Amino acid sequence: MQEITREALAERACALIADGKVDRVLGWRAGEFDYDAIPATFLSADELRSEFIWNDFCGANLSKYLIKATAKTESRVLVFLKPCDTYSFNQLLTEHRFDREKVYAIGVPCEGMLDISKVRGIADGISKVSDNGKEVVVETLYDGTVTAPRGEMLPDRCKNCKSKKHVAFDELLGTDGKVLENHRFDEVEALEKMTPDERFAFWQGELSRCIRCNACRDVCPACTCEKCVFDNPESGVANKAAANSFEEKMFHIIRAFHVAGRCTDCGECSRVCPQHIPLHLLNRKFIKDIDTFYGEYQAGSEVGSRAPTVDFTKDDIEPARAVERSGENA
């Protein structure tokens, strides 16, 4: 259950359109089912009042959609941002991916989104999902009503939320939170404790399910190249299914290196993966190592911050020592 209601967001957006401060709104629209929340652009108050939604399944990070929404136009777009989304928002501004003057950002408190894959794990034939703050109530076509503790239905990124604090907004609805203590590196540490063969087997098992749909790349706020290397016909790997186990790993390892130091740990990659591969763990490993070698750094915490990977200082760890320490923690 969210602090701010859908009606409050829709009416505020309608007011901003009526005042001429924005001419369109980036938000969420219902898909085929109640739990399908699709990023969408709304052009009128009528659309907002009839089609705009805000519920426990509005997990999509809208920051990346601003690149296209602000391109080739001088008008202003309203976007709703959850606390974790604002880090991606700042990181995209740092990389000059959209014009800040063309965006009106409203911060929205978030009590954590629900993971529909976990909901499906407790019920078949889902007809409706609701949340009373403590429990998730699932109405089904076959088994009546099924309930589960809300905390058990949260995705990993919400269970280990890094921050309830908005780091960017023009207007804030509801109350702002704080940066949180969390255990988001526990799974990474568990992988580090494995033997090399165990760790290789783990990732081989996970990445072997990849179907190269590119959903992780397309949704990632850090993947914004106008021409992706994996779309380049000269690369030899453009839009192709993996021919062997090496190619299975290559796509994700290259992508993880490309976003290292820029990934805000929003978790979108794992959210959209149809094969449920925990891709966020690759990125968290890079984040953890950067924190270990160069000092704690959170991408997107402020506009203009430079990642340690692109900001040389005399105190930087020597490459040889970094390799040694990575071996100790591998």
Q: What is the pLDDT tens value at each position of the chain, 330 positions in all?
A: 899 999 999 999 999 999 999 999 999 999 988 789 999 999 999 999 999 999 999 999 999 999 999 998 899 999 999 999 999 999 999 999 999 999 999 999 999 999 999 999 999 999 999 999 899 999 999 889 999 999 999 999 999 999 999 999 999 999 899 999 889 999 999 999 999 999 999 999 999 899 888 999 999 999 999 888 888 877 666 666 666 777 777 889 999 999 999 999 999 999 999 999 999 999 999 999 999 988 899 999 999 999 988 888 888 887 777 667 666 655
Task: Provide the 10 A C-beta neighbour count for residue 326.
Answer: 14
Check the CA dihedral 97-101-104-108 and report its sign. Answer: positive
Query: Is 178 within a domain?
Result: no
Query: Is 62 within a domain?
Result: yes
Rounded Cα gap, residues 180 and 190, in angstroms = 21
| 57 and 168 housed in the same domain | yes
List, as one string, the DSSP characters of 70-98: TTT--S-EEEEE-HHHHHHHHHHHHTT-S
| 108 and 124 housed in the same domain | no
Beta bridge partners of 145: 139
| 224 and 249 housed in the same domain | yes
Contact, 163 vs 83, CB < 8 A?
yes
Residue type, 62: L
- Range(s) of the domain holding residue 134: 118-147
3-state secondary structure of 14: helix
Beta bridge partners of 135: 149
Query: Is 153 within a domain?
Result: no
Task: Provide the 10 A C-beta neighbour count for residue 52.
Answer: 23
Integer Rg of the chain from CA:
21
Contact, 130 vs 1, CB < 8 A?
no
Q: Give the chain's domain count.
A: 3
| 83 and 123 housed in the same domain | no
Query: Is 181 within a domain?
Result: no
| 314 and 220 housed in the same domain | yes
Query: Is 179 within a domain?
Result: no
List, as one string, the DSSP characters of 157-208: HHHT--BSS-S--SEE-S----B----TTHHHHHHHTS-HHHHHHHHHHHHT
Query: Closest Cα partner for 78 from 93, 90, 62?
Result: 62
Query: Is 154 within a domain?
Result: no
The answer, as to whether pTM is greater than 0.75, is yes
